[in-house]
Amino acid sequence: MHITVMPIIACYEEFDLNQIVVQDYIDLIQKCLSSQKNITIKFKGITASPSCIMIQGFPQQQVLDELRNDMRTVFKASPLQQSIDKRYSLQTAHITVVRFRKPFTAKEEFLKILENFKDYDFGETTINELELVHNDWYLRDNFVKRLFRFKV
């Protein structure tokens, strides 16, 4: 399970880790984290789409937004490869709990079950570490490579 803080380089087929110097990315992220406090997120309710189910996350202070904005500024000002905000500007703090591989056959019944969780309180968590990872779009375990772990 994860919460995406910032997709620095969007997933694309031709990308290879050998095209970048990972330490340069680590250094910039550490620069952004130097002034950050704890990130607390409350999880309440779900959102469903044809492709996935997400638990909605609500940051309990502005720390996550500040970190994202710092990362946008620092990476866009750097010569490093990045695609921040090219596809969309990340604003949420959701957890994708299910990704669908095929369309539903019993869609109405499934949506009725999901209705029970539209306002469900899933609790709260405080983030104490972040990871820089290389992954595919689906974050499949065999494609996820942890590049660095940051303490917050």
- Per residue in 90-142, pLDDT (tens digit) is 667 889 898 888 887 888 898 899 999 999 999 999 998 998 887 765 566 66
d(Cα 140, Cα 144) in Å, to the nearest integer?
Answer: 6
Q: Residue 42: which pLDDT band, with cuts at 50, 70 and 90? A: very high
Q: Provide the mean pLDDT of the chain.
A: 84
The whole-number average pLDDT for the span 51-80 is 91
- For the chain, domains (ranges, CATH) are 17-151 (3.90.1140.10)
Distance of CA 30 to the CA centre of its chain: 17
d(Cα 43, Cα 95) in Å, to the nearest integer?
Answer: 9
pLDDT given at position 78: 93
Name the pTM for this structure. Answer: 0.77
Least confident range of 7-16, 35-44, 87-96, 140-149:
7-16
Of 31 and 138, more confident: 31
pLDDT-above-70 percentage for the chain:
85
Closest of 29, 22, 9 to residue 136, by C-alpha: 9
